[in-house]
A = this chain, B = another copy of it.
């Protein structure tokens, strides 16, 4: 069995983090799949999907450390060709990854109490993001 739905999210720009756990749990519920896997995937190359404890401290810490490790800059090859100021957005998004697969048991995603599914905007401007949620199982 397979069930697929899309979720739209408007982000405010670089470093904006959204908790999408409730959206994912509702879609798993509507799928009537009790055991399996749910895949959460963001379309596009400058946003990422992952898990984190969703609280204000880490909402600030994760974008900050990513900017320290992969800072904005004009020296990137991507900038020299495109001049859109978001080479670091691409690098951060690729490193975190665009998708996540979480097990489903008892009709719900299996996550820790302090483990939320997040969308992280890495691009330098507000974006309308599309997340595809696919549930497989029985």
Cβ–Cβ < 8 Å partners of A97 in chain B: 50-51, 97, 100
Contact in complex: B81, A55 (CB < 8 Å): yes
Give the size category of A's interface with B: 35 or more
Chain B neighbourhood of A45, CB < 8 A: 51-53, 112, 114-115
Given contacts A51-B45, A78-B58, contact A132 B112 (CB under 8 A): no
Q: Which A residues are closer than 8 A to B by beta carbons?
A: 1-2, 4, 35-37, 39, 41, 43-45, 50-53, 55-62, 65, 69-70, 76-82, 87, 90-91, 94-105, 110-112, 114-115, 132, 134, 136-138
Closest 4 CB pairs of A and B: A57-B77, A57-B78, A44-B112, A60-B77
